[in-house]
Chains A and B, each alone.
Chain A
Amino acid sequence: MTLQDHSAISRVMRSDRGIKWFVGLLLAAAVLLPLGHLLFPPESSLHVSTYTLGLVGKYMTYALLAVSIDLIWGYCGILSLGHTAFFALGGYAMGMYLMRQIGTRGVYGDPLLPDFMVFLNWDSLPWYWHGFDMFWFAAVMVVLAPGLLALVFGWFAFQSRVVGVYFSIITQALTFALLLAFFRNEMGFGGNNGLTDFKELLGFDLQASSTRVGLYVTSALALLAGVLVCRWIVASRFGRIIAAIRDSESRTRFIGYRVEHYKLWLFCFSAMLAGIAGALYVPQVGIINPGEFAPINSIEAVVWVAVGGRGTLYGAVVGAILVNYAKSYFTMAWPEAWLYALGVLFVLVTLFLPKGVLGLLQRFKRAES
């Protein structure tokens, strides 16, 4: 073998045709769907409705969440069953910005206080709502809030060498605790109604179809960037070390790596990625409420990764889109059946497709050649 080319691009693209396919398809989707929306009139069969754009855009943010889970689960063996907590925190940070943008257009027309605070007879803005009228501040909080939570939580968990199923259980507890906290009106995040009725983002009307297109394209590009950055990480020596930690944690310690530091770095990065996904999710669905913290959501997100095939990154994207498409279909056609279908799916995938859909494709390819 010749000396490897070490540029960042080759590091990301090397030795994997799947990633090239993935980049191509995602770019195509990012361009073609908006074109279909803008070029064809609504009566044309090639027209893409704003509803479809919003739906696919939402899937993209779910896919980014799935990528952040795959990064820690597939590559480092950390199974977080509370990752939507970080997703929801990012979403709340964005939601707070959108609330502040409403201004006097709210029902009560208060220039400073969001409607729910007026309703609760609050006379001033809580201290943690300050600054959210500025987009850059909200954007920083989108990554900082999940990152800080992950830092504190991860520091205690990894320092105490909490691993495996115990870690998964306490992440469930974490997201459940946040669910209960955000349900309380006194927390100042809108209680069980959450934050909604958004008007505009950076001056663009959220109902306008051009804004929807913009949000869709941003989500697609964020997903692309997320996957590529994660690829860059796992293809570095750092990536080989976290995989070594996954396979044999104590051995990694004995050759001198501080396992806790590696896990903590990765966990924080993953949480920030989930936060970005949440921030892109909220303006597209138009609401963020404590339901996003529900433990079942985190488990669902893990199922996406398992279905797609973990340890590939784009497998997580495939899984997130497949399962959510199935969910959209099922909840319309046969709502009661969805949770059962999800359970059956998880059992079947675990039993018969340990490497997910992508593993199945690889097996077919190998059988051919």
Chain B
Amino acid sequence: MSMLKPLRDFTERDRVFDMVNPALRSPKLDVSHGTVLYLEDISVSFDGFRALNDLTLYIQAGELRCIIGPNGAGKTTMMDVITGKTRPDTGSAFFGQTIDLLRLSEPDIAQAGIGRKFQSPTVFEQHTVFENLELSMAGPRGVWAMLYARLNAEQREKIDSVLELTGLQDLRFALAGSLSHGQKQWLEIGMLLMQEPALLLVDEPVAGMTPQETERTAELLVSLAGERSVVVVEHDMEFVRSIARTVTVLHEGSVLAEGSMDQVQSNPKVVEVYLGEQV
């Protein structure tokens, strides 16, 4: 059947080719229905192991959502699907009403407005802090444009403000590889801010941070929500409690429970999954 799939594009009379459909060629983010991310019936299996199992999840525009779950619940795989790293076997994923994430490559998705912070901080170690932010800055990404690209005053100010926000202003010319773990975390958050994404996916932002830094991260994420939508995957329950309005619990690749922190904690199914672990 899969061999016939390309042929079916020709036989479907109710659709036009993608190349003549301007909405598909350069879709704009449309959140007029109030939902920024639609994941429906997503399944992913690796060698028979079902990492995601009919996962259905909606994120509201401007929401700050925390996702928790035991190891292997599919949190990182979910992020991989959203950012285009992993293609699901079945299901659909839309960014706003119009942007079909399953049709786009990783760079397209990033340019459409989804930014991701990885679990272990991944910064460009051979570049300075300043250059890391410069490369992440929202704007054109074409080859020829980058040969002649120069920073204008406004862009410099933008980088300066992010440096200040992340507390890295004195380290702007330090190599990113020489930073401490916590500083790298901040730098990566700064890179995320430079991209000005509409949806931020943040994987374990406070791992390796001191309590004060954790607190500042919480403030930052809360302040970002509203204008942008933020999805946080985190193990640190104190942290989740301090920022979350809505918490989603993943278990074995699908949603186990959803609601406020208190509702989720008193849910008997969640207690069972976390038996032995402190919720």
Contact = CB atoms under 8 A, between A and B. Distances in A.
Interface string B105-139: 11100110001101000111111000100111000
A257 interface: yes
B141 interface: yes
A243 B123 CA distance: 12
Interface in A5-43: 6
B149 A257 contact: no
A22 B68 CA distance: 57
B124 A251 contact: yes
Interface of B: 83, 85, 105-107, 110-111, 115-116, 118, 122-127, 131, 134-136, 141-143, 146-150, 173, 191, 195
A256 B141 contact: yes
A254 B203 CA distance: 14
Interface of A is mostly: helix
14 contacts: A236-B146, A236-B149, A237-B134, A237-B146, A238-B149, A243-B126, A243-B127, A247-B126, A250-B106, A251-B122, A253-B105, A254-B85, A255-B115, A256-B107
Contact of B125 (A1, A236, A237, A247): A247
Contacts of A240: 127, 131, 134-135
A238 B195 contact: no
Contacts of A265: 143
Contact of A253 (B110, B135, B191): B110
Interface in A219-247: 233, 236-238, 240-241, 243-244, 247
Contacts of A253: 105-107, 110
Contacts, number: 71
Contacts of B106: 250, 253-254
Contacts of A130: none
A238 to B, nearest CB: 4
A259 B127 contact: no
Interface of A: 1, 6, 233, 236-238, 240-241, 243-244, 247-248, 250-259, 261-262, 265
Residue in B115, B124, B131 with the greatest tally of chain A CB atoms within 10 Å: B124
A248 B122 contact: yes
Given A1-B173, A248-B124, A255-B191, 7 more contacts: A236-B149, A240-B127, A247-B127, A253-B107, A254-B85, A255-B115, A258-B141
Contacts of A262: 143
A250 B131 contact: no
A249 to B, nearest CB: 10
Contacts of B127: 240, 243-244, 247
A241 B107 contact: no
Nearest to B128: A240
A238 B146 contact: yes
Contacts of A258: 105, 107, 141
A87 to B, nearest CB: 24
A1 B173 CA distance: 10
Contacts of B115: 255
A256 B111 contact: yes
Contacts of B148: 236
Given A255-B135, A256-B110, A237 B149 contact: yes
Contacts of B135: 237, 240-241, 244, 252, 255
A233 to B, nearest CB: 7
Given A236-B146, A237-B134, A237-B146, A256 B195 contact: yes
A240 B129 CA distance: 12
Residue in A236, A241, A254 with the greatest tally of chain B CB atoms within 10 Å: A254
Nearest to B124: A244
A6 to B, nearest CB: 6
Nearest to A6: B150
Contacts of A250: 85, 106
A221 to B, nearest CB: 23
Contacts of B147: 233, 236-238
Nearest to A8: B148
Contacts of A261: 142-143
Residue in A236, A255, A258, A262 with the greatest tally of chain B CB atoms within 10 Å: A255
Contact of A255 (B85, B125, B136, B149): B136
Contacts of B195: 255-256
The 4 A-B pairs of least Cβ separation, nearest first, read A256-B110, A238-B146, A253-B106, A237-B149
A359 to B, nearest CB: 15
Contacts of A256: 107, 110-111, 141, 195
A240 B83 CA distance: 23
A244 B127 CA distance: 8
A262 B111 CA distance: 16
B124 A259 contact: no
Contacts of B105: 253, 258
Contacts of A252: 135
A264 to B, nearest CB: 9
Contacts of B134: 237, 240
